[in-house]
Structure formats: structure tokens, C-alpha cells
A and B are shown apart, each in its own frame.
Chain A
Amino acid sequence: MDVDGRNERMAAYLRDSHDKVVGRWTDLVVAGVRGRTSREEVRRELEDLYALIVRVLSGADEHAAGELTATLDELSRSRARDGFSPTETAVGVFSLKDAVYELVADAADLVPEFYSLSRMVDDLGLRTFEAYSSAREQIIADQSAAMLELSTPVVRLWDGVIAVPLVGTLDSARTQLVMEKLLDTLVATGADHAVIDITGVPTVDTEVAQHLLKTVSAARLLGAECTISGIRPQVAQTIVSLGIEFGDIATKASLADALALALRQAGLKVVPL
């Protein structure tokens, strides 16, 4: 028996028993999504998919396969965004087999046809999984980009004094971004004093120290003086035991001390009113 003939007969069978299969399929999927999507919505999605599967099986329409994968990708992506697990997403497709099997179980003459459908549904299920994981990866990439943006503010403390409060682990990519933002702000505001506050940096190793030193020397080339503040006791001990030298770079225990130093260097004095 040729594959095309089997597929066409399966397509004809699915077309005839549209209501029964889609109804059962919807039941199975709705049970899986546990109320996160309404029955009507699930039914609408599945009817679209079902119509496309029938078109692909009947082999009459060369665009159907492309449309089917596109629809499936879109469905998987929205599932990934809505927080469904990969199993739940894939099972949504696989349960079509259950729905059809329950109907053809009595008709032994449809077994080869059912096998073709089963192969196709398996492929679709894998496709779902791939689309799901790529959507998830995209979400993760977007989030880390957003975090990078969020985590590097440059704030103005005083006229001519800016500060960069660093929070979280410093790696090369982040330091580069911090350095660029700091230098751009120095040029844009004409500030000649910058405070790099590392209160929120959990650990300082040789690499992080190297990054900090680079930032300070780049700021110096622009003509701005840098102070490093917020060195915690443990961090100070680590720095000393690693033998890191900050050279002639001013370091202060707190941001307040650093600001006081910057004001003093700018020739300003804070007095009680």
C-alpha cells in the first residue's frame, strides 16, 4: 500500500469524524492545561491545527505544511510565554493520537492509516518542543539584556560629582558597559569626580579588581578623578590577601566618605545652617 493513499484515506477519515475527534482532543488538552486557558480558546486553536493536519495529509495543498509548522511554532511560543511546561505543551499535540486511536480502535482496517498519522503527530510534537525551547531561550536572552541595562545606573551626587552604584557580580561584559556609561556620563555632564560604589559587589577577585583599575584609568584619561567606595571588611581582607594594589586610587569605606572627599577636592565645605 502506498503512503499517499494511506494519508489520503486518513485525511478523509479525519474530515468525516471532525467533530468527534476535535471534541475528544479538546477534552484531553483542557484536562492538561488545568484551567489556564479557556475551553473555547483551546478548541479554536486545535480546530485550526486539525484543519491544517487534514490538509497536509490529503496532500492537495503544498502550502499546508508550512502553515502547519508556523501555527505550531506560534502556539508553542505562546505556551512558553504563559509558563506551561514543555511536557504540557508537547502532550497537547500528542493527545491527538489518543483522540483518534479511541475512535479507530474498533476499525481494524484503519491501522496502517493510523500509523501514518502517528508518525506525523510525533514529528509535530518534536517540532513543538523545539519551538518551545527556542522561545524560552529568547526569553532568557531578553531578560539578561534587560538586567544588564537595569544594573548599571549612573547617578549625579553633586554638581560635578557622579556615582556608579554597582550591584551584583562584575564580569567583562558588564564592566565594559559600566565603563562606557561612566565615561559617556563624565563627558555629557562635565563632571570631574566619579565614585564607583562596590557595596553590592559580593566578591572582588583579581579579575574584578583589574576591571575596576581599567575603569579608573580610563576616567583619568578623560581628566576625571575616581574614588572606589563601599569596600566591605571581607572584601578588604580578600583584596589584601590576593595582593591586589589599588595604587594611588582613593578608596573609602562608604559612599558618604567618598562624597565628602569629592566635595573637599572641589573646594566645597559642608557646614551646619
Chain B
Amino acid sequence: MERVPILKIGQTLFVSIQIDLQDETVIRLQEDLADELAATGAHGVIIDITAVEIVDSFIGRMLTTIGSISRLFDAETVLVGMRPAVAITLTELGLSLSGVRTALNAEKGLEILNGKS
């Protein structure tokens, strides 16, 4: 099974998803991220989904779950680089990803996190 790498940059964890998301991959990512947050005490998570072309309701829900988990570790999650087609799909599915902040690109995502701290 493919794993999504989690990079720690300062007080921020950076996750860039470059593969087709399978259900197991996302569950594994959620677990890895929780471990990493506990280990590092990071205050922010940036999830870059620029390369993600297809999402379904499960993945949409998991993204919200990841946001909720991060908040328990006092870390804010910013989802960056969503493609228009993905945004339309999520809207049609009725998912507004409450609890997760969004930004157009990684740079703006970092600005949001830095503005907070």
C-alpha cells in the first residue's frame, strides 16, 4: 500500500498528496498524522491536494475528520490547492468541509497558519 509522506517544517506538518487516493491510503494518512502530531507537537497542518483529481464522499469526510483530529492536538488544518472540479464535486455531494480551512495554494496556507500563531 502506498503511503503519503508527512514532512515537518518548523511548527508545521506538510502533507502533499501526489497519488490517487484510495480509502486505505487516507485511513493510513490519518493514523500517521495523529502519531506525528503527538510526537512533534506541531501547531499547523497543510494538506496539499493540487494533484488530486478525484474525490468521493468518503475521502471528503476523512478530510473533515483529519481536521477534527488535528484540532484535538491544538493544530489548525489548511487544505490547499483544491482543483475547481474537485470543489464542484464536493459541493454537489453536500460536503462543505466545516472545521477545515482552505487556501488557494501552499503559500497562502502558510500565511493563514503564521497569522494565527
Asked whether any CB of chain B lies closer than 8 Å to the CB of A73, the reply is: no
Interface residue stretch chosen among B10-18, B21-29, B69-77, B78-86? B78-86
In contact, A223 and B88 (Cβ under 8 angstroms) = no
Task: Please name the residue on chain B nearest to A216 by beta carbon.
Answer: B91
Asked whether any CB of chain B lies closer than 8 Å to the CB of A67, the reply is: no
| Distance of A214 Cα from B96 Cα, bound (Å) | 10
The count of chain B contact residues (Cβ–Cβ below 8 Å) is: 21
In the assembled complex, which residues on chain B have CB atoms less than 8 Å from the CB atom of A219? 87
Q: Which residues A125-181 have CB closer than 8 A to chain B?
A: 179-180
In contact, A179 and B104 (Cβ under 8 angstroms) = no
Q: Which residues B82-117 have CB closer than 8 A to chain A?
A: 82-84, 86-88, 90-92, 96-97, 101-105, 108-109
The count of chain A contact residues (Cβ–Cβ below 8 Å) is: 18
In contact, B87 and A218 (Cβ under 8 angstroms) = yes
In the assembled complex, which residues on chain B have CB atoms less than 8 Å from the CB atom of A191? 104
| Distance of A266 Cα from B57 Cα, bound (Å) | 33
Task: Please name the residue on chain B nearest to A181 by beta carbon.
Answer: B84
In contact, A223 and B80 (Cβ under 8 angstroms) = yes
In contact, A179 and B88 (Cβ under 8 angstroms) = yes
B32 to chain A, nearest CB (A): 24
A210 to chain B, nearest CB (A): 11
In contact, B104 and A221 (Cβ under 8 angstroms) = no
Task: Please name the residue on chain B nearest to A183 by beta carbon.
Answer: B84
Asked whether any CB of chain B lies closer than 8 Å to the CB of A222, the reply is: yes
In contact, A222 and B88 (Cβ under 8 angstroms) = no
In the assembled complex, which residues on chain A have CB atoms less than 8 Å from the CB atom of B101? 223
Task: Please name the residue on chain A nearest to B112 by beta carbon.
Answer: A223
Best-surrounded residue of B78, B92, B96 (most CB of chain A within 10 A): B96
Q: Is the interface of A mostly helix, strand, loop or mixed?
A: helix
Q: Which of A179, A187, A223 is B83 in contact with, Cβ under 8 Å?
A: A187
In contact, B96 and A222 (Cβ under 8 angstroms) = no
In contact, A222 and B82 (Cβ under 8 angstroms) = yes
In contact, A190 and B105 (Cβ under 8 angstroms) = yes
Q: Which of A183, A190, A192, A224 is B88 in contact with, Cβ under 8 Å?
A: A183
In the assembled complex, which residues on chain B have CB atoms less than 8 Å from the CB atom of A224? 104
Task: Please name the residue on chain B nearest to A191 by beta carbon.
Answer: B104
In contact, B102 and A222 (Cβ under 8 angstroms) = yes
Instruction: Decide: A187 near B84, CB < 8 A? Known: A218-B90, A220-B102.
Output: yes
Asked whether any CB of chain B lies closer than 8 Å to the CB of A184, the reply is: yes
| Distance of A140 Cα from B79 Cα, bound (Å) | 44
In the assembled complex, which residues on chain A have CB atoms less than 8 Å from the CB atom of B88? 179-180, 183, 218
| Distance of A9 Cα from B43 Cα, bound (Å) | 97
Task: Please name the residue on chain B nearest to A214 by beta carbon.
Answer: B91
| Distance of A219 Cα from B108 Cα, bound (Å) | 15
In contact, B87 and A183 (Cβ under 8 angstroms) = yes
| Distance of A214 Cα from B101 Cα, bound (Å) | 17
In contact, B90 and A192 (Cβ under 8 angstroms) = no
Q: Which residues A199-224 have CB closer than 8 A to chain B?
A: 214, 217-224
In the assembled complex, which residues on chain B have CB atoms less than 8 Å from the CB atom of A218? 84, 87-88, 90-91
A-B contact pairs, 6 of them (CB 8 A): A187-B83, A218-B84, A218-B88, A221-B90, A221-B91, A223-B80
Contacts A218-B84, A218-B88, A221-B82 supplied; 7 other A-B pairs, CB < 8 Å: A183-B84, A187-B83, A187-B104, A190-B104, A190-B105, A219-B87, A221-B91
